[in-house]
Amino acid sequence: MNKVITINLGGNAYQLEEGGYDALRAYLDSAALRLQGNPDKDEIISDIELAMAEKFRTLLGSRKTVVAAKEVEAVVAEMGPIEADTGESAAPPAGAGATGAAGGRGPAEQQPAAGRCGLPRRLYRISEGAMLAGVCNGIAAYVNVDPTFVRLGFVFLTMLWGTGVLVYIVMAIVVPEASSPEERAAASGIPSTAQEFIRRAKQGYYEAMKGFPDHRARREWRRQFKREMRGWGRRFGQEMSWNAAQWQYNWHNYWAAHARLHPGLGLTLPLLSLLQGAATILWICASISLLATGAVFGLALPANVPVWAAALLLLFTYGILSAPLKLARRACYWGFGFPGAGGSFIFLADAVVWVGVVLALAWLAVHFFPELRAAAQSLPTLAHQAADDIRAWWTKK
Amino acid sequence: MNVNEKFSALRKGLLEFLLLQIIAAEKVYVADILRQLSQTEFATQEGTLYPLLSKMRREGLLDYQWKESEAGPPRKYYQLTARGREQLRETQEYWGRINGTVKKLAQK
C-alpha cells in the first residue's frame, strides 16, 4: 500500500505514488537549475511537463488510475537529462541522478565538473535580519556560517585597535546590497527555488493553517509541508556537499598551480616551523608572565580587565598572528605534493622540527627563569578564579 | 576512443540541421521527431530536444501550432518559418560542399 499524491500537469490531474512524486519533483527541480539564465526556461519546463503528462496518460486506463513510482522513474529516464547549450550553464547537476556522482568524486578526477558545482556566488549586503547595514549577514551567507559568528569576529577585530569598525564602514560603502531575489540567491548560493521555499515556509505555514476550512484539508497541507521540508533538506545537504567539494577543489587547484615543487620550499618549511615554534613559545612566556606578575612583559593591564580575560585575549592574538604562518606551512606541504607519500614524510619531519623547537625553548625558559616555574604552579588557583567570576556574572544577570 | 564517441560533437552540431529537414517535410510534434531519429545514429531524448527546439524558435527558424489530441494534453506541432527554410537551403548547400570535399580528397 502506497500513499498517492495528486499533481497538476498541463491542466490535468494525475495521481502518482509518493516515491514517483519525489522523483518527478527532483527531475523538474534539476531541469530548472540547469536552465538557470536560459531565456527559454519557462517554455522548456512547460514543454517537459506536457510531454510527461502525455506519457503518464498512455500508462493509465479505466482500471488503472495511479502512476507507480517505477513508472515515473522510467518516464524520467526516457526524457533524459536537460542539455541546453546556450552558454556555460553554471548550475550544478542536481537531482536524483547526480547524487551518487557528487559524493564520490575526489579532487583529482572531478576537475571538469567541479568548476561548475555550486551556484555562482557573490558578496552582497543582506538587509533582511541585519543589525546595521547587513555586512555581517552577507559575509555569513557567502561563507555559509551563522551570522552571529561573523558579528563576534567583527567585535573581536574592533578590540584590535578598532580595525573592525573601519573594515565594516568600508564594506558597507563598497559592497552592493542584494535587492532582487536573484541577487539574494547569488549571495548565499542557494538556488532561488529553495530560497523561495524557505520564505514560503516562514510566512505561509501558519497563515495557511488558519485558513483551511476543515480538519482534513489542514492535515493534507501539513503532510505536504513536511514532504517539501524533507525534499528541501535533501537539496540543502546536496548543496553543502557541492560547496565543500568546490572549496576543496579551489584550494587544491590554487596550490597545485602556484606552489608546485619550488626549489626554495625545502628551506622555507623548516624556517617557517622555527618561526612558528618561536611564536608559540613567545605566547607561552607572555601568558606565564601575565599569570605571575599580572602584566605582560611589564606592560600593565587596564584596571577593570580580569587576568583570565587578558589570557584569553593573548590566546586569540597568538591564534591570529600564527594563522598566516600555518597557512604558509600548509602551502609548502601542497608544494611537495601533500598528501602523497613524500608529503607525509615531510609533514612528519616538519612536525618533529616544530616540537623540538618548542621543547628546547620551553626548557631554556624554565631553566633560566625560575619565576616562570612558580607561575606555572599558580595556574589551578587562576582557573578557580575565572570560574568564580563567570558564576558571579551569571547570577547577577 | 571509438568512432561513436569521436563524432559525438559532430552529431550534436548536425542535430539542428536534421531537425530543420524533418520539420520541413511535414508538421511534426516532438514524439514524431524522436521516432524518426530513434533508429539512426542521432537517437536522442526530450531532455535534449526541447531546449534545442526552443532555441531555434527564439532564433525565428521555427513556429508552432497547438493541436488538441485525443490522448492527453494538447501538442505543439512545429513548422518552418521562411527564415528556417532559408537556413535549411544554406545548410544543405554547405553540407553538399563538405561531402564533395570529403569524397574528392578520398579519391586521390
B47 closest CB neighbour out of A53, A58, A83: A83
User: Could you give the C-alpha distances from B1 to A110, A113, B4, B6, in angstroms and in order?
Assistant: 20, 21, 8, 7
A40/B30 CB distance under 8 A: no
Q: pLDDT tens, A221-276?
A: 778 878 877 877 777 777 777 777 777 777 666 655 555 555 566 667 777 777 88
| Amino acid present at B89 | R
Nearest-CA residue of chain A relative to B12? Answer: A85
Specify whether the CB–CB gap between A1 and A15 falls below 8 A: no
- Residue A16, φ and ψ in degrees, nearest 5: -120, 150
B73 closest CB neighbour out of A31, A53, A86: A53
Backbone angle region of A5, left / alpha / beta, with phi > 0 → left and psi within -120 to 50 → alpha: beta
A47/B54 CB distance under 8 A: yes
Specify whether the CB–CB gap between A96 and A23 falls below 8 A: yes
Give dist(CA A268, CA A141) in Å, integer. 36
Distance from CA of A256 to the nearest CA of B (A): 29
The pLDDT score that the predictor gives to residue A91 is 38
Query: pLDDT tens track of chain A, all 397 residues?
Result: 678 888 888 778 888 888 888 888 888 888 888 888 888 888 888 888 888 888 888 888 878 888 888 888 888 888 888 887 644 333 333 333 333 333 333 333 333 333 333 456 778 888 777 778 888 888 888 777 778 888 888 887 777 666 777 788 888 887 888 777 667 767 776 555 555 555 556 556 556 666 666 777 777 777 887 887 787 777 777 777 777 777 777 766 665 555 555 556 666 777 777 788 888 878 877 877 777 777 776 677 776 777 777 888 888 888 887 777 777 777 666 665 555 445 556 666 777 777 777 777 777 777 777 666 776 667 677 778 878 888 888 887 6
Q: CATH code at B94?
A: 1.10.10.10
Q: pLDDT tens, B88-99?
A: 999 999 999 999
Nearest-CA residue of chain B relative to A14? Answer: B72
Q: Which chain B residues contact residue A10 at CB under 8 A?
A: 73-74
Could you give the ipTM of this predicted complex? 0.84
Give dist(CA A322, CA A86) in Å, integer. 47
Residue B106 has pLDDT above 80, yes or no: yes
A48/B45 CB distance under 8 A: no
SS3 letters for chain A? CCCEEEEEECCEEEEEEHHHHHHHHHHHHHHHHHCCCCCCHHHHHHHHHHHHHHHHHHHCCCCCCEECHHHHHHHHHHHCCCCCCCCCCCCCCCCHHHHHHHHCCCCCCCHHHHCCCCCCCCCCECCCCCCCCCHHHHHHHHHCCCHHHHHHHHHHHHHCCCHHHHHHHHHHHHCCECCCHHHHHHHHCCCHHHHHHHHHHHHHHHHHHHHCCCHHHHHHHHHHHHHHHHHHHHHHHHHHHHHHHHHHHHHHHHHHHHCCCCCCHHHHHHHHHHHHHHHHHHHHHHHHHHHHHCEECCEECCCCCCHHHHHHHHHHHHHHHHHHHHHHHHHHHHHCCCCCHHHHHHHHHHHHHHHHHHHHHHHHHHHHCHHHHHHHHCHHHHHHHHHHHHHHHHHHC
Give dist(CA A186, CA A47) in Å, integer. 27
Q: Cell numbers at residue A209, please?
A: 493553517
pTM over 0.90: no
3-state secondary structure of B61: coil
The pLDDT score that the predictor gives to residue B93 is 94
Q: Cell numbers at residue B86, please?
A: 532559408
Domain assignment of residue B69, given as a range: 3-107
Q: Which chain B residues contact residue A79 at CB under 8 A?
A: 45-47
B63 or A217: which carries more pLDDT confidence? B63
Q: Which chain A residues contact residue B55 at CB under 8 A?
A: 40, 84-86
Nearest-CA residue of chain A relative to B16? Answer: A85
Q: Which chain B residues contact residue A30 at CB under 8 A?
A: none
Give dist(CA A233, CA A197) in Å, integer. 11
Q: Which chain B residues contact residue A84 at CB under 8 A?
A: 51, 55
Give dist(CA A315, CA A308) in Å, integer. 11
Q: How many domains does chain B have?
A: 1
3-state secondary structure of B29: coil
The pLDDT score that the predictor gives to residue A195 is 54
Among B15, B54, B70, most A C-beta atoms within 10 A, so best to mutate, is B54
Give dist(CA A229, CA A227) in Å, integer. 5
The one-character DSSP state at B41 is: T
Distance from CA of A34 to the nearest CA of B (A): 11
Backbone angle region of B83, left / alpha / beta, with phi > 0 → left and psi within -120 to 50 → alpha: alpha
pLDDT tier at B101, thresholds 50, 70, 90: very high
B51/A11 CB distance under 8 A: no
Question: Which residues 67-106 of A are in CB contact (within 8 Å) with B?
Answer: 78-86
B73/A54 CB distance under 8 A: yes
